[in-house]
Each structure stands twice: as C-alpha cells, then as structure tokens.
Structure 1
Amino acid sequence: MNIKDKIMDTLLKLVEVRGISGTEDENLTANKIYDIISEIDYFNNNEEKLQILQIEGDPLKRHFVSALFCSSKPSKNTIVLTGHLDVVDVEDYGHLKDLAFKPLELMKKIDELPLSEEALKDLKSGDWLFGRGTADMKFGLSLGIEILRELSKRDDFEGNLLFLAVPGEESNSEGMLGAIPHLLTLKKQYFLEYIGLFVTECCIPKEVGEEKKRIYLGTSGKVMPLFLFVGKETHVYESYTGLNPNLLASELNRLLELNPDFCDEDRGDITPPPICLKSTDLKELYSVQTPLMAASYYNILTLNLSVDDLMDKLEKLAYQAFDNAINIVEENIEKYNVISKSNNIREKIEPRVLNFGEVYEEVLKEKGEKFEEFIKEKIKLWREEKKDLQTIAINIMKETYLQYSDKAPCIIIGFAPPYYPNKHLSLSKKEDEILLKVIEDGVRFSKEELKTDIELDHYYMGLCDMSYTGVEDLNNLSNIVSNIIGINECYYMPVRELSQLNIPSVVLGGFGKDFHKHSERVNISYSFSLVPNILENIIYNLFKQYD
C-alpha cells in the first residue's frame, strides 16, 4: 500500500471514532491513535517512546498521545508533527448525523442536505471526501502518523521525529497546554532540541471558490472580552423605574458585533471582525421582576495585541453603549408619558464602566481572605458540576459583584478563557530563519517537481495550537494572562514553560473547506498525493540544515 492509501485508510479509521470536543469521548480517539501507532515496528521495539498521558487536572480526564522516533544516528535535532484529535458535534448533519463519521456512506446521501453550489460541484467531482473531522483535522493526524511510520522504517536521516496528538483544541486547547510540560520533559530526558514544529491543519480558502494552497508562517491569536451588565431590577408594572441589563447587553452588541474598528492588521493580513459567542441574562427562575445582571463574551482575533489599547477601546465602547441605553429609556419614557398622559419621573442613572480586576481587588480589600477562599470553593464546585470555563468566569464576576459595596448599575469588563497568543516566524531568530528558508525551498520543490503552486501566508486565521509553541513578547503575554478570570484556579497558561520552548513553527497540511459545517470536506488529489511529498522534502531538508 502506498502512502496515499495508507493515509486514507488511517483517516477513515480515525473519522469513525466520534471524539466530540468537550466530552470524555475524546479519549476514544486518543486510544485509537495509540493503537494504530503501536503497530509501527519501531514502537514495538521501543515501547517506552510511545505514551498516552492524562492532562493534569482535567475534569474530563482526557489524554494526549506522544510518539518519539529517534534515528539510529544519535542526534538532538527534533521535528514535531502535531494536531488535535477532537471534533465539533454533528447536530448540523440533521437526519444524517449517524453517517457524519462514515464518509463513504455519507457521500451517497449528503445531497439530501442543503449544499452550496460549490459544495455540490466538489461532491460531483469525486475529488473530495466529506464527513466530520475529515479536514478538521483528522487528515492532518493521519498524515503525521503515516509520515512517522514511513520515515521510521527508512531511518535514513540524522534526527528525531515527535508525533503529538492532543485533545480539546475545539474548546480551550487543554490538550496542547497540558502537553507543554511533557515537551520540556522529553527535551531534558533525551537531550532534544526542537528545530521545527508542523501543525498539520488543512489550509482553507479565503473566499468562496478559491482553490489556492497555503503554508502559514504564523497564527492569529484570540482574546475574549467578557462583560457583566448590572442593571436596576423592578416589577414589570413599573418598567420605567428600572434599567434592564439586557438593554445594556444588546446596545453593546449593536456597537461591537462585526465592528471593523476591532480588526487587527499585520504584514498585509487582517483579522475578521469580533463576534458575540454568548449573551445571556443571569436570572435563574421566572418571575415578573426584571433581571439584575446579564453577561456576554466576544471572540476577538489578534495579530499585534496590546491589552492596554484593547481595554481602552472596550471601555470607551461600553460607556457609549451605556449612554445610548439611557437615552433609549428616557426617550421611550417621554413617549409613554405623552400617550398615557402621565408624568413619570425617572431616577437619574449615570453611565459607569469598571475593570473586573479593580473590582475584585476592592472586594478582597473589604472582605479579606474569607472572600478568596469562598471563590476557590465555588470554583471547585463549578468544576465538579462540569461547567465550562466561560460559565465559571461569568459566575466569578457575578459572585464578586454581589460582594461589592457599590451597587449602582454598571458594566464590568474582564477577559474570559481561553487566550491564544498570536505567533509568527521571526527573522531575528536564527532557528526561525532556517525554517523559513527550508519552507521556501519546499514551495519551489512543489512548483518545479510537482507542478503545484503553494502560497506562503503570514497568518492562519482559524486558530490553532501553534499559539502554544513559544512566546513572542513575554511581558505582554504575562500582562494579558494576569487579566484572565479564573487564571491558575481553573485555567492554566504555562507562561514560564512557554518561554523555555520557543519552537519555530508553521501550519502545513492538506486542503479543506467548510470546517464546522455539514459540508466539511478534504481535497483528495492535493492532500493525499502531493502534501506527503512536500512535507517529507521539508523534513529532510530541515534536518540537513543542522548536520
């Protein structure tokens, strides 16, 4: 069986395993990967170099897989092939969701679901494999496994290959964060130097119909501003006397949703605008009292983030939203007074925007260690209840406000986990410069030998675990991390360990479309036939640079 067929065989085996993100089923995929790699001859003879390890402190007890091949010619130089093993849920497949993990059967029926003109054309071409996880990113894992199998068999280079499959990337990247200490352990145990890391995510089109193939020299970052809206509760009969936090939230959303002023730009790339991932009031039971609090958090991608600049912009926007909300209320009360022939007078409310860190410190000053212990116990309870990190962050803000002495309406701003640092190859670092040269040579090899054009792009905008392969600005990273709600209690960001890694990294994989949609698919001719040759060429050349 040639490597193309081997990758396809492995891909179908992996896709068949559900492994939905944020569930214990992710371990099913980890176990399957472990079993497949254990069949490779090298790992039969070196069992200690194939490991399945639990993420420390993970409430779901998820595991990652590590397989280290050391060539017969002793070397410290090591290349990492990595990807995530989890996939998003399959509710979008509707009545075909039972077939979402069976691509060959799914493709016989997928036209029963709504498909775009482009997706239908790709289906009819026979050059695309549809199914959940085919592109995002079990092709990348299958590529890494079969490259590992093939090169360990040849053993004709001087260097080491480390394959790393991690869970949780679709949620909070718990897998990659949990694997960072392991990378440092291996480095110390086997005297390794990490000279390159390849995240084998598929490249994705920038617009409908585009067929360009890409290698990414960096990845965008992500920060999630979290807003707690505190209003003034009232009986619905006297609605004009209160302030509904849902109005504050909706006005903030009107101003922030898809606002291009919050796009980040670098090296000619620009991030997509922010989008709200969740907005909810915090009223637990039905009553005719208006809610006291609401919360929302937003996805903001970054390329050159200054947390101080972002906070300043968010505060100004929050003040504007608050002021707009008050004006809406007052204008509507005036109209109501006219039609009802009333003279309702409203208590004046001033716009107020607070920083969560300052509120927390103020409460800590007032309540002392007892409050800190109270929050820790609450976090422990919420984790036992398997609440997600974002809900825990909202709950921390809520409980902190309830202990805050100044109960006037306000908007409190903090940051929810996860945080993804942006990262890019730096020409000021020798190792990064070497990898860039090898990548450029690989692009030429693809054009001249394989007759395939590949474009070098600066940033992968889909978010990936490349964010956790080193630190570009330690001070800025420390500043941002210190502002994340729940840091060190329920969310782990190994800043010190990341600063010890700094692995030159790129995103290099197949070609896929429609991630997280029922039309998710991976291109066959490029991904299975050409990419293995391109990646092999780059691996060999990178090792040669360190001979």
Structure 2
Amino acid sequence: MEERILEILKTLVAMKSVTCSKNELEPARWFADFFKEIPYFKEHPQDTGLYAIPDDPYGREIPYALLRGKKNDTVVLSGHIDVVPTEEYAKAEPWAYEVGSKLEEMLAEMPLDESARADLESGQWIWGRGVADMKGGLAIHAALFEEYAKQASSGTLEGSILFMPVPDEESYSAGMRNGIKILKDLKEKYDLDYKLLIDPEPTNQVDGAQVMSLGSVGKIMPAIIVQGKKGHAGHCYEGFSAISILSEIYQRTNGSLEFSDVYEDEAAVPPTWANLRDMKKGYDVSIPHRAYGYFTAFAFDSTPEDVLEKLRKICIESFEQQVRKLDGEYQEYKKINKSERKEKIFYEPVVMSFNELCVMAREKDGQAFEDFYADAYEKVMSKVSSGQASFPDATIDIMEAVLDYSGIQYPVTVIGFAPPYYPPVHSDMVKGKEGFGTKAFSFVSQLSEKEFGQKMTYENFFMGISDLSYGAITSPFDYKKYSANTPLWGKAYNLNFDAIEYCGIPGVIYGPIGKNYHEYTERVNRRSLTKVVPYTTKALIEYMWKL
C-alpha cells in the first residue's frame, strides 16, 4: 500500500487545483474516474457519482462513492482537493507541483530555517504544494478505499464507507456545504448510520506527540456599516465622523478576550478585523459620512445570536463614548471661539441588525422594497460570480444599498453577517453519539504508540477552520435569524442547516504529520504518510463500525 499511496499522491499533486478556479475540476473528475474503475462500482454504478454544485461560478463538482457492507454503520472519508497558489516558491515555482528530487534541489538553494533545512537533508519528508494540505491525506484514503472495495465485492465488508473528496475548502467551503446534501440523500436512501467523519487535514506535533482534533472552531464574520452625520471640515462640530464611531468599535473588539470562548484549558482566538475604511467615493473636505468594516470572530459554543447581541451592546457603548468625546472637545472649543452658540452636542444611539433595517423598509414600502432588494441582490450576485467582489465586500454593498433605500438620515450603526459561516462543532457533543470523538482518540492513541512508538495528544477544537463544521450542529441556534441577517443568503450563499443537523456526524481531524502548509516549505512526513496513519486509520474505521 505504501507505493500506491505515493503513486496517488504524485498524481494528485501534479494537478494545479488552485482554490476558486476551474482547475479544481481536474482532481474531481480524476476521482470520479477512479471510482468508476473499481470493480465494485461496475456492479453498483448507482452508488457513485459526480455532483454539480448549483450556480457555482467555476462549475465545480463533488465526486463521491459509497461501499455498502454487511451493516449500515458508516464511516465517512473526506478531504479537500483544492490548494492555495504557489507564488512564494519563487524560482522553484515551476516544480512546486512535482514531487521529487528536482524540487528538493531547488529548495536547497533557497533560504530555509533550521528545521526545514534539517528535514530536507534527512530525506524523511516529501515536499510540494498540497503534499500535506491535504493531498497526502486524500492519497491515504484513496488507497484504503481501494482495499475495502475488494471486500465489498466479495461480500466480506463489515460496515459501510462513503468517500467524498470536496473542492473549495481553502476559500468558502462550497464543496462541503453542498456535500452535506449528498450525505443526507444517501442516509435517507440506505438508512445509513454515520459513525464518524475522518478529515485527513495534516496534523501537527506538540513535544513529539501527534495531534488529533476532536472538533473544529466556529467562524463568523460580522459586517458593520456606520452612518454618522455629514459636515464640512471647516464646521466640524456640525457633523459626526463615522470613522470615529467605527474606530471605537474596532478598539473594543479587535483582540478582545470578551469574544473568546473557553473549553477546558483551550480558548478561542480573539477577533481580528480584516477591513476598516470610510465609504467616500472620492476626495472632498467633508467629514466621512459612512464607514464600514468586517472582522472574524471565532467560537467554541457562541451562536450568531450571541455574537450579534454582544456586538450590539458594544456598538451602543462605542457610539455613546464618541458622542461624549465629541461634546467634551466642543465644550473646550467654545471657550476659545466666541462664535459657537450650540449648548451641547448629542445624538441618540441607534444600532440595528440588517434584518431590522429590512423590516423597517418592508413595512414602509411593501412590494416596492421586495422588488428593489431582488434587483440589488442580482447585481451583487453577478459581481460575486464574476470575481469582481468577495463575499464580505458584496455583503457591504447590499447593506449600503438597503441603508440608502431606507432614507435614514440620522446616525445609525447596522450589523449583518458576511459568509462564510462555520458553526463550531465537537465530536463528543453530537446528539446520540456523545463521546465518540474521545473514543476515537483513545483507540488511535493506544494503537499508534504500541505499534509505531508515535505518541498522540488531542485538542478539542482545531483552530485552522475546517469542513468538520458542516457535519453536525453541537451548539444549536436559530437558523432563520442567522439567514435573515446575512444579506447574501440565497443563490449566492446558503447552508442546509437542517441537513447538517439530520446527518449529525461526529468528526475528527486526523491525517499525516505535516509542516508549513501554504508556504514553500510545505512538507509531509514520509513515515507518517505511508505507514503510521494508513494503519491506524484502517483500524479506526473498523473500530467505529463496532460502536
């Protein structure tokens, strides 16, 4: 099996399947052909297929194949086929997709840190774009799947296995978001009982121990538009800068531990803002009337409603703080400028969710607003589909259009959500399968150390964000409230929360040991790839069938 894993790895790495590109079609169709050539699927062609993602701008597809055994107890093998670009390889870039000595020779001439240099000289690591993240894990799953297919053909396969490689994990997870529909349909068709999803993301080491992730952090992106009051810079106290308000919100949230969920001895990373700017179309001497920004918030159990209400409170307090600051400055200015007559500067703090803004407009104009919104949505979706706008920026575009339509002239802060959304998930908390993640870890940990001397440790939540989020809902929330506050919800972006909840699959991240993903020193450990993880993954699959 070792040689077969390496053969598949080289084949997959050679495909330049950069995320958000038509190149993702190549590995998807390779897997579809790979499945069709397996004798079992010549007898059961209905159990494999290539699912076209609806309305996908790149025409991407999801290959899948189900081996049905004696029992409906099913383990899902997945993993993403897309990779990030290779510009950082510099002069070695022409060989970034070639596993072999030429790339290693080129890397040897490039700046390498001590660890990378030692690994390169050891000969114990395989180098190249995607070898770790995550075509190495896919190669393991593909080789194991071939072996299990022989058992399925002979009628000796004890449980069932579903293999579903997906595109677009590196960007918006369109693959797994749509793949859950496949999982739902197959569960309904064959009454499958999903025991575990194994996502072979490359794993780290902590003090020599390989890490298994029992869950995956949630990620949500609040998008905020602040409207102040326009005024000439020469009469600055007649206006109210939107930047000052948004900057206060930024100071209160960026890096704030107030948003960091804690689980056992782990804490979610605090928020990081990705964008903050005014909305002027050009230069003039007026005070910035509007400003916008969006940031990433991570969660272990906080729901979108939790984040929205926490942020609403912060926005109100930030607004009030900036009003007090502006008035304080004005009171001092009055003392030195005889022409000032205003007694006090005061603005009422108004903060609303995007849905509340839409309700206001809908109650005012009814169908006229619905027609306006449909037109605005189509225009923005066209920009997203053509690559002219990202999901976050397109979200701001719609929020601004609705704010314009509302006719609101007073200072206001509007909060919405930009895709993609990743619900937090933990394999020990899946309804009806409580503790399955810990059971999987305990089994693999003992086996790995006994057979290979490879110690294991675990983390409750993988902080890198992953497709595990779409296997189960372990922190329930109001799906309709989230979608109502997500301007792009619909054809441009959607999540089948009901299907995720219905499938309820405990998931773990367990793949070969790797290092420096997304860097030119990306590499995967040869022994972990070809010996340790294939052996322990096979044993884990068979163990889960028995639970």
TM-score between both structures, scaled by the size of structure 2: 0.88
Query: Which segment drifts farther, 23-32 or 398-407?
Result: 23-32
- CA 249–202 in structure 1, closer or farther in 2 if over 3 Å, else same: same
Letter in 2 for 1:171: S
Match of 1:174, as an amino acid?
A
Please say which of residues 412-421 and 303-312 is displaced more in the overlay: 303-312
1:267 corresponds to which residue?
264
Over residues 384-428 of structure 1, what are the superposed CA-to-partner deviations in whole Å (9 max), with x where a residue is unaligned? Answer: 222332222111210111122331223222222221111112368
> Which whole-Å CA distance do the structure 1 matches of 2:269 and 2:138 have between them?
27
Quote the residue 1:384 is aligned against: 382
Equivalence for 1:279 = 276
| Corresponding residue for residue 486 of structure 1 | 488
Residue 254 of structure 2 is matched in structure 1 by: 257
- Secondary structure (helix, strand or coil) at the match of 2:220 reads strand
Task: Give, in angstroms, the shift of residue 329 of structure 1.
Answer: 5.6
Superposition deviation, residue 332 in structure 1: 7.1
Contact 1:59 1:383 in 2 (8 A): no
What is the 5 A alignment of 1:267-416? 267-287=264-284, 289=286, 291-326=288-323, 348-350=345-347, 351-385=349-383, 386=385, 387-416=389-418
Task: Identify the match of residue 107 of structure 2 among 101, 106, 110.
Answer: 110
- CA drift of 1:499 comes to 2.2
User: 1:215 is matched with which residue: 208, 212, 216?
Assistant: 212
Structure 1 residues 447 and 255 mapped into 2: Cα distance closer, same or farther (>3 Å)? same
- Quote the residue 1:139 is aligned against: 136
Amino acid at match of 1:88: V
**Which of 468, 471, 475 is matched with 2:470 structurally?**
468
Q: Which residue is 1:532 aligned to?
A: 534
Query: Do the aligned partners of 1:86 and 1:167 also contact (CA within 8 Å) in 2?
Result: yes
1:77 to 73, 95, 98: 73
The amino acid that maps onto 1:380 is: E
Q: CA deviation at 1:333?
A: 7.2
Deviation at 1:228, TM superposition (A): 0.8
Corresponding position of 1:443? 445
Q: How far 1:94 sits from its partner (Å)?
A: 4.2
- State the AA in 2 paired with 1:177: R
Where 1:52 maps in the other structure, the secondary structure is: strand
- 2:28 is equivalent to residue 26 of structure 1: no
Letter in 2 for 1:166: V
Residue 334 (structure 1) shift: 8.3
* Equivalent position to 1:232, from 229, 233, 247: 229
Residues 124 and 223 of structure 1: is their aligned pair in 2 closer, same or farther, counting only changes over 3 Å? same
Q: Whole-Å Cα distance in 2 between the matches of residues 134 and 225 of structure 1?
A: 34
In structure 2, the residue corresponding to 1:66 is in which secondary structure? strand
* Partner residue in 1 for 2:83: 87
Tell me which residue corresponds to 2:170.
170
The residue identity in structure 1 corresponding to 2:405 is: Q
More off after superposition, 505-514 vs 340-349: 340-349
For 1:179, the equivalent position in structure 2 comes to 179
Superposition deviation, residue 493 in structure 1: 1.5
Tell me the CA shift for residue 337 of structure 1: 9.1
Conserved 8 A contact 2:71-2:160 = yes
CA distance in 2, matches of 1:374, 1:332: 42
Determine the C-alpha separation between the residues in 1 that align with 2:48 and 2:415: 44
Using the TM superposition, give the Cα deviation of residue 201 of structure 1 relative to its aligned residue in structure 2, in angstroms.
1.2
Deviates more, 1:435-444 or 1:404-413: 435-444
Inter-CA distance 342–307: structure 2 relative to 1 (3 Å threshold): same
Percent of residue pairs bearing the same amino acid type: 28
Runs of 5+ unmatched residues, structure 1: none
**Counterpart-to-counterpart distance in 1, 2:92 and 2:310:** 45
Q: What is the CA–CA distance in structure 2 between the aligned matches of 1:418 and 1:87, rounded to whole Å?
A: 18
Which stretch of the first structure deviates more once superposed, 126-135 or 318-327? 318-327
Q: Which residues in structure 2 correspond to 1:238-253 (within 5 Å)?
A: 241-253=238-250
Q: Does the aligned pair in 2 maintain the 1:421–1:467 contact within 8 Å?
A: yes
Deviation for aligned residue 1:538: 0.9
Rounded Cα–Cα distance in structure 1 between residues aligned with 2:337 and 2:92: 58
Distance 2:188 2:381 in 1: 33
Is residue 273–residue 300 contact of structure 1 (8 Å, CA) maintained in 2? yes
Q: Is the Cα contact below 8 Å between 1:157 and 1:540 reproduced in 2?
A: no
- Aligned with 2:63 (options 62, 65, 82): 65
Deviation at 1:525, TM superposition (A): 2.1
Secondary structure of the corresponding residue to residue 105 of structure 2? coil
CA contact (8 A) 1:435 1:542 kept: no
For residues 22 and 138 of structure 1, the distance between their equivalents in structure 2, rounded to whole angstroms, comes to 17
